[in-house]
Structure 1
Amino acid sequence: MSPLYAPFLDKLAPGATILDAGCGSGRDALAFRERGFAVTAMEPSPVLARMAAVHCGLPVVIRRFQDLDWHARFDGIWACASLLHVPLAELPGVFHRLAQALRPDGVLYVSFKYGRGEREHGGRRFTDLDGVGLADLLGLMPRLEILKTWVTADCRQGRSDEWWLNSLIKHQSVAMRPRRSAS
């Protein structure tokens, strides 16, 4: 995971506050804690939250993205392979809540399975996004600016044909002016 951590952590000061949003197993929360960051782990699944707390040695807040109510609390938010379980229609509200939880000039990392649309696989719901789809969503958020977007192959065995959209997004302290289209 280090190649994914680097662009995100490079934007944060030593000891910065990070929300691992949708922490799953607690793998990333543990990695950030071991690097000296002040980590809050959050997971909507009570079962996963208990497992993550054991793995990362941190308390894990059980909360859905749709229920986030933190305000200007975090320097960075890490949402790795977690927002992809939020229905597409609910993503604008979730991005708004994530932006509220970030301090001005904070950074947000997100990843989605690369593609477009919603699907069900193995009894789980997925929202897939490509760069244009993410830009369209964030176009509704005047304080969120995409800093970098890149695509990576899935590193897990047997999944080399699956791709991920990764994006690093900055919470602007002042709303950006709308971009004019070139004509």
Structure 2
Amino acid sequence: MPVSYYNQNAQSFYDGTLSVDMSSLFLCFEPYLSVRGRVLDAGCGSGRDSRYFLDQGFDVFAFDASAELASLLIYRPVSVCQFDKYSLETTFDGIWACASLLHVPKDKLSQVFCHLSSLLKRDGLFYCSFKYGADEVERDGRVFSSFTETGLEKISARLSLRIREIW
């Protein structure tokens, strides 16, 4: 995992992502959630998306592997842990993993999907985003796993996840 990259570059990553307009993605995700539902921001980075969901009235929990990024978020406590280690005695209406799971090596992704999806309520929504393609590359000490629709369908077929929509 690219934790050292994000710990060393926390402030510049935070500054560069905090004001990115994600409204088109939020509008695709929100209709599937219950009013005031519980959302897990998995790999929350700058906390931009957590802040949005909080402002919309959702009950938000967030975690990130980077302690440095987590320390920059002053409006809500952020757990510091890896995807496969996060646990809480609750379930979620939705999991939001925006540009975070793309750092999980492909050979570990099924395990991570399985673990995170176990935190969902029945019929919960799991949003994730990847770079488009079929490769896995390393840049600046970070792994980037890319997927096509077919690649994601293969992973979801092995799990209890059903793809509702791809965009």
TM bracket (short chain): 0.7 to 0.9
Alignment of 1:22-171 (within 5 A): 22-51=43-72, 53-54=73-74, 57-70=75-88, 73-141=91-159, 143-150=160-167
Q: Distance in 2 between matches of 1:73 and 1:24?
A: 21
Structure 1 unaligned blocks of 5 or more? 151-183
Distance 1:71 1:148 in 2: 29
Please point out which of 11, 30, 33 is paired with 1:12.
33
The residue number in structure 1 matching 2:13 is none
Query: Is the CA contact 1:15–1:36 (under 8 Å) kept in the aligned structure 2?
Result: yes
What is the alpha-carbon distance in structure 2 between the residues aligned to residue 136 and residue 113 of structure 1?
A: 16
The one-letter amino acid paired with 1:19 is L
Identity of aligned residues (%): 43
Contact 2:84 2:116 in 1 (8 A): no
Greater gyration radius:
1
Report the alpha carbon displacement of residue 17 of structure 1 after superposing the two structures with TM. 0.2
Unaligned runs of 5+ in 2: 1-21
In 2, the alpha carbon distance for the partners of 1:145 and 1:81 equals 20
Structure 1 runs of 4+ aligned residues shifted over 4 Å read none
Structure 2 counterpart of 1:106, one-letter code = G
Deviation of the 1:72 alpha carbon: 5.5
TM-score calculated relative to the size of structure 1: 0.77
Higher relative contact order (CA 8 A, sep 6+): 2
Q: Counterparts of 2:108 and 2:32 in 1: how far apart (Å)?
A: 28
* One-letter identity of the residue aligned with 2:101: L
Structure-2-length-normalised TM-score: 0.84
Superposition RMSD in Å: 1.1
Alpha-carbon displacement from aligned partner over 1:124-150 (angstroms, at most 9, x marks no partner):
111111111111111111x21000011
Quote the offset at 1:123 in angstroms.
2.5
The structure with the greater share of residues assigned to helix is: 2
| Between structures 1 and 2, the one with greater strand share | 1
Counterpart of 2:31, as a letter, is D
* Cα distance in 2 for residues equivalent to 1:71 and 1:115: 36
